[in-house]
Structure 1
Amino acid sequence: MTKTNLITGFLGSGKTTTIRHLLASKPASEKWAVLVNEFGEAGIDGALLADSGALLKEIPGGCMCCVNGLPMQVGLNTLLRQGKPDRLLIEPTGLGHPKQILDMLTAEIYTPWIDLRATLTLLDPEQLMQERYCSDENFLAQLAVADIIVLNKSDRQNDASRAALQSWLSINQAERETVTVSHGQVEGKLLDQPRRNQHVLNASAAHAHNLTAARGLAALSLPEHQRWRRSLNSGQGHYACGWIFDADTVFDTVGLLEWARLAPAERVKGVMRIPEGLVRVNRQGADFHIETLPGSPPDSRIELIHRTGCDWNALQIALLNLRLS
C-alpha cells in the first residue's frame, strides 16, 4: 500500500514550496510521487517540481475533482499501478474543494492501494484578516478537513495577523494539531500522523469550473516550430492566463521581474529562462519571492490568476517585448 497525504491550502499558502521541502528531505531508500493539480493550464507547479526526483503527474486546467473525478482517477491509477511509490503527495488546486478528492481516496476500490494518512492544510494567517478569504467556501472547507493545520510564513507575521490567528484558532482549532513554520519547512514525520478528522464540508452547487479546461493529464506543451502560446481558464470566481515559451526564448531579467511584480493580478507564478539561467517567480499579492538558479529550463512558463479578468492582451504585449531572442 502507498502511504498517501493530501497537502491542501488556498492560493499562495505555500503548498508547492512545502512539497519541495518534503521531497528534499525524504528517505533516500523510498520512492515518492506527486499528483499535482492546477487551476490554470500552463503547468507551473509541475515545472517547479520537475527537478525534485519524484514521480510526477499533472492535472492542469481546473479542479481535479470535477468531471466526476475522471482526471484525478486516471492520474492516480497511473501513479499507483505503474510507479508503485512508497508515498504519494496530492496537491489540489488552491481553488479546489476537498470533499470529492477525499471521497475518492477512501473509496473501497482504493482500499488495497492507499494508506491514507494525515491531511495537511497550509494557512497564511494574513488571509484571516481579509473577508474575501474567510467567507470563501473552498478556503473554509480546506481548513475544515485538516488533520494538521500548518501555519506558514511565520517570518512575515505582525501583531495584527497574530491577533487574527489567535481569534480564529480559539473558535476553529478544536483538537487538531497546529504547527508553525516559515518557507514551508514542515517536518517529514508529520506525514505519518494518522487521519483522524472526518469533518468534510459538502461542496455547494456553485462549485464549478470551466469544464472545457478540466480535461488534461499533462500540462500544455508547444507544437513543433511554435515559439509560444497562451491559455485561459476561469471558474470559482477567478480568472487565469498563462504563457509558455520555447527553450530558445530568453527574457530580460530586470524587465521580467518588474513585469511580474507590477502585474495587476493576485497571483503570479512562473519558471522563466533569463541570461543568468532560470528564475522562479512566486508572488501572492505584494508578497514577492524570486530564486535565480544556473541551468536552462526545457521551456519558460508563467501564469497569472486574479478575481476579475485582466487586460491579458496588454500584459502579453509587455511580456513579449521583454524577449531577448
Structure 2
Amino acid sequence: MTKTNLITGFLGSGKTTTITHLLANKPENEKWAVLVNEFGEIGIDGALLADSGALLKEIPGGCMCCVNGLPMQVGLNTLLRQGRPDRLLIEPTGLGHPKQILDMLTADVYEPWIDLRATLTLLDPRQLLEQRLQNDENFRDQLAAADIIIANKADRQDEASRAALEAWLSSNLAGRKAITVSQGQIDPALLDSPRHNLRTLPASESHSHSHPASRGLAALSLASHQRWRRSLNSGQGHHACGWIFDEETRFDTIGLLEWARLAPVDRVKGVMRIPEGLVRINRQGQDFHIETQNVAPPDSRIEIIHSAECDWNQLQQDLLKLRLPDDNQR
C-alpha cells in the first residue's frame, strides 16, 4: 500500500513550495510520487517539480475531481500501478473542493492500494483578513478538511494577521493540530500523522468550471511549428490566462520581472527562459518571489489568475514585447 497525503490550501498558500521541501528531505531509500492539479492548463507546478526526482503526473485545467473523477482516476491509477511509490502526495488546485477527492481516496476500490494519512492544509494567515476569502466556500471547506493546519509564511505575518490566526484557531481548531512555519519548511514526519478529522464535508454547491472541449489529461504543449500558445480557463469565481513558449524563446530579465510584478492580477506563477538561464516567478498579491538558476527549462510557461476578467490581450501584447530577438522570432 502507498502512504498517501492530500496537501491542500487556497491560491498562494505555499503548497508547491511545501511539496518541494518535502521531496528534498524524503528518505533516500523511498520512491515518492506527486499527483498535481492546476486551475489552468499550462502546467506550471509540473515544471517546478520536474527536477525533484519524484514520479509526477499532472491534471490541468480545473479540478481533478471534475468529469466524474476521470482525470484523477487516470492519474492516480497510473502512479499506483505503474510507479508503485512508497508515498504519494496529492496537490489539488487552490480553487478545488476537497470532498470529492477524499471520497475517492477512501472508496473501496482503492482500499488495497492506498494508506491514507493526514490531510495537510496550508494557510497564509493574512488570508483570514480578506472578507472575500472568508466567504469563499472552497477556502472554508479546505480548512475544514484538514487534519493538520499549516500556518505558512510566518515571516510575512504582521500583528493583524497573527491576531486573526489566533482568533480563528480558538474557534475552529476543534482538537486538530496546527503549526506555524515559514517557506513551507515542515517536518516530513507530519506526513505519517493519522487521519482523525473524519467530519462530513458538504458537497460544493458552486463546483463548476468551463473547460475547452478538446481538453486532455496532460499539460498544454506546442506543436512542432508553434512558437507560443495561449490558454484561458475560468470557474469558481476566478479567471486564468497562461502562455507557453518554445525553447528558443528567451525574455528580457528586468522587463519580465516588472511585467510580473505590476500585472493587475491576484496571482502570477511561471518558469521562464532568460539570458542567464531560468527564472522561477511566484507572486501572490504583493508578495513577489523570484529564483534564478543558470540552467534553462525546455520551454517557458507562465500563468496569471485573477478574481475578475482581465484585459488578457493587453497583458499578452506587453509580454510578447519582452521576447529577445533570435533568427526565428516572429
The 3 A distance-change label for structure 1 pair 200 and 44 is farther
Instruction: Please say if 1:259 is aligned against 2:259.
Output: yes
State the alpha-carbon separation in 2 of the partners of residues 196 and 44 from structure 1: 32
Q: Trace 1:174-193 onto structure 2 (pairs within 5 A).
A: 174-193=174-193
Cα distance in 1, alignment partners of residues 315 and 303 from structure 2: 11
SS at match of 1:167: helix
1:83 is displaced (CA, Å) by: 0.3
CA distance in 1, matches of 2:167, 2:185: 24
1:321 aligned partner: 321
The residue number in structure 2 matching 1:228 is 228
Query: 2:92 corresponds to which residue?
Result: 92
Q: CA deviation at 1:225?
A: 1.8
Residue 277 of structure 1: aligned partner: 277
Q: 2:140 is matched with which residue?
A: 140
Q: Structure 1 residue 216 and structure 2 residue 225: aligned?
A: no
Counterparts of 1:174 and 1:294, CA distance in 2:
47
Find the counterpart in structure 1 of residue 73 from structure 2: 73
Q: What does 1:43-54 align with in structure 2 at a 5 Å threshold?
A: 43-54=43-54
Pairwise CA distance, 1:214: 9.4
Which SS does the other structure have where 2:18 is aligned?
helix
Q: 1:31 to 1:156 in 2, by over 3 A?
A: same
Please give the secondary structure, in 2, of the residue aligned with 1:230.
strand
Distance (whole Å) between structure 2 residues aligned to residue 300 and residue 200 of structure 1: 41
- 1:265-300 Cα offsets, whole Å, 9 max, x none, are 100000000011100000000000000011110000
Partners in 2 of 1:137 and 1:154 — Cα distance?
Answer: 24
**How far apart are the structure 2 equivalents of 1:250 and 1:200?**
49
Q: Which string of whole-angstrom CA distances, capped at 9 and with x for unpartnered residues, describes residues 72-91 of structure 1? A: 00100000000000000000
Residue identity opposite 2:28 in structure 1: A
Whole-angstrom CA distance in 2 between matches of 1:311 and 1:235: 17
| Structure-1 residue corresponding to 2:37 | 37
TM-score by length of structure 2 reads 0.97
Change (3 A) 1:71 1:134: same
5+ residue gaps, structure 2, are 326-330
SS of the aligned residue for 1:223 comes to coil
Deviation string 1:71-130 (CA, Å, 9 cap, x unpaired) is 000100000000000000000000000000000000000000000000000000000001
Tell me, yes or no, if the aligned pair for 1:57 and 1:217 is still in contact at 8 Å: no
Alpha-carbon distance in structure 2 between the residues aligned to 1:254 and 1:116: 45
Q: Distance in 1 between matches of 2:42 and 2:200?
A: 30
**Residue 218 of structure 1: CA displacement?**
1.2
Matches of 2:98 and 2:212 in 1, distance apart? 21
TM-score, normalised to structure 1, is: 0.99
- Which residue is equivalent to 1:5? 5
What residue is the counterpart of 1:130 in the other structure? 130
C-alpha deviations, 1:130-174, integer Å up to 9, x for none?
A: 101111000000000100000000001111111111111110011
Residue pairs, 1:141-180, within 5 angstroms: 141-180=141-180
Distance 1:309 1:278 in 2: 29
Local SS of the residue matching 2:162: helix
The answer to whether the 8 A contact 1:230-1:244 is kept is: yes
Aligned-residue Cα RMSD (Å) equals 1.0
How far 1:207 moved relative to its partner? Answer: 1.2
Supply the distance in 2 between the matched residues of 1:173 and 1:281 (Cα, whole angstroms): 33
Equivalent residues of 2:148, 2:176 under 8 A apart? yes
Residue 301 of structure 1 aligns to a residue whose secondary structure is strand
Which AA in structure 2 matches 1:274? I
